[in-house]
Amino acid sequence: MTPSAPGTPTHEHTSLSQGLHFVGPDVPSVADLQNCIHCGFCLPTCPTYVATGQELESPRGRLHLISAVHDGRIEATDRTLAHFDRCLQCRACETACPSGVPYGRIMEDARASIMANAPTAQPVSWRLRALALRYVVARRPVLRFVLDLGRLYSRSGLQRIARGPLRRLLPAKIARMESSIPVLTETPFRETGTLASPREVTARVALLLGCMHGEMYPRMHEATVRVLAHAGCEVVAPPEQVCCGALHSHAGDAETARALARRNIAAFEAAGVDAVIVNAAGCGAAMKEYDRLLRNDPHWGPRAQRFSHSVKDVLEYVAERDFAHDLGTVDETVTLQEACHLAHAQKIREAPRRILRAIPGLRIEELKTPDRCCGSAGIYSFVQPDLSAAILDAKMEDVMRTGADVICTANPGCTLQLQAGVVRTGMHAEVRHVIEVLDQAVRAGAAR
């Protein structure tokens, strides 16, 4: 399909019951918007444009819509906001852009400025999403209760039946939705305080436990702690830490994101550590941008700036330390799915490969498009299931071509999505964080 040239989208002027405009402290910056030169380099890197061939499902098209709303040429209508909603916020366009357009923050600002309208005027779906994130994800007891229900489903055997003999009898959409439910059979990681204290300590670091990460994938935290200890780090986890707020920022709930950021800054400042380590790429990207999130706060802004400089992705941090000593052999073939918020938001691409290349016996088969989004994007697979599934299908075709035993990534959302892809395709492959593969080598070396 030939994409249309960007123009004033007059067909988007079908108004909501109350027309919405950008209001509040997060209105997208004119300077940011003017950086776009409409060259189209972003188009082939955008998963939603590749999947649909539609200009308004591309970064260039969405920037044009945002500019039009900003200038008052159009209102933010149902149809306009649907194009915002289909954006994965993967930020691949930022890597491709020759003009340095900060697309990620423009989209977050646009969503926050829509949500700054009166609650009765906000899009119902956006309002419900924000409320769910605010009162479930950001509240640890509530989230744990919800995940405990999922844990009951996994441990009861119902999940195994649904993915076994019953799967072919289920409607396609139900089967697809079920494949996105994580397998929750392991004991959650909920430890705080001092997690590791090796004999020779060369650094003291704090680990972000996250809201869902330790509940869904405890082995990632366990592996992270062991690897950091192997690299000479004392590891602590402040009990006062909370959700990072990334999902809230993506959904336009900037005020909740700011409240969570303040609590995390205070918690990690009190820990007195050399670095704050994050093993979820999306969380790390959000925390590295706390300084911008709190830019208008005279008290917390300077503290956020100092804090943001202390945040390190675990792969970024480990790759610069003495991690490769005494590693054992890992006889497996892996492929690397680059987490979007590691490769594009944090610009970290070499560290995971440096780590994988250092593991004896490991064979690496590269994807054709390792940095193309898998379609997870936080809660995107739940709010845009059809488009998410189309993007995942393309990713799994790429993965199957490699013949890998293990699909490596660096974000729990990617892990969940890729595991769903493995279930849907019937592949015999595991999905692991890169740090889990390194931990496998560390343990193999210790067992010699």
Delineate the domains of the chain, giving CATH numbers in brackets: 20-120 (1.10.1060.10), 127-179 (no CATH), 193-319 (1.20.1050), 333-446 (3.40.50)
Q: For residue 213, what are the contacts with CB-CB under 8 A and spacing of at least 6?
A: 220, 221, 279, 280, 283, 412
C-beta pairs of 145-149 under 8 Å, 24+ apart in sequence: 147/184, 147/188, 147/212, 147/215, 147/216
- Residue pair 264/287 in contact by the 8 Å Cβ criterion: yes
- Residue pair 214/145 in contact by the 8 Å Cβ criterion: no
Q: For residue 33, what are the contacts with CB-CB under 8 A and spacing of at least 6?
A: 63, 66, 67, 70, 106
- The label of the residue with tokens 């308004």 reads 56
- In this prediction, the residues of the chain whose per-residue pLDDT falls under 70 are 1-19
For residue 83, which of 7, 144, 173, 12 has the smallest C-alpha distance? 12
pLDDT, residue 12, reads 36
For residue 204, give the H/E element and its range.
Answer: strand 203-207
- Residue pair 392/433 in contact by the 8 Å Cβ criterion: no
pLDDT, residue 18, reads 52
Q: Residue 135 is encoded by which pair of tokens?
A: 């009162």
- Residue pair 294/327 in contact by the 8 Å Cβ criterion: no
pLDDT, residue 10, reads 36
pLDDT, residue 203, reads 96
- How large is the angle between the packed helices 434-446 and 218-230, nearest 10 degrees? 60
- Residue pair 196/225 in contact by the 8 Å Cβ criterion: yes
For residue 229, which of 408, 448, 412, 439 has the smallest C-alpha distance? 439
pTM exceeding the 0.95 threshold for the entire prediction: no
Q: Residue 267 is encoded by which pair of tokens?
A: 């918690």
For residue 362, which of 282, 264, 262, 440 has the smallest C-alpha distance? 440
Residue 121 burial by CB count (10 A; 0-12/13-18/19+): exposed, middle or buried?
A: middle
Q: Is 335 helix (H, G, I), strand (E, B) or coil?
A: strand
pLDDT, residue 32, reads 94
- Residue pair 101/32 in contact by the 8 Å Cβ criterion: yes
Rounded CA-CA distance 365/380 in Å is 28
Q: Is 276 helix (H, G, I), strand (E, B) or coil?
A: strand
- The label of the residue with tokens 């380590």 reads 277
pLDDT, residue 174, reads 83
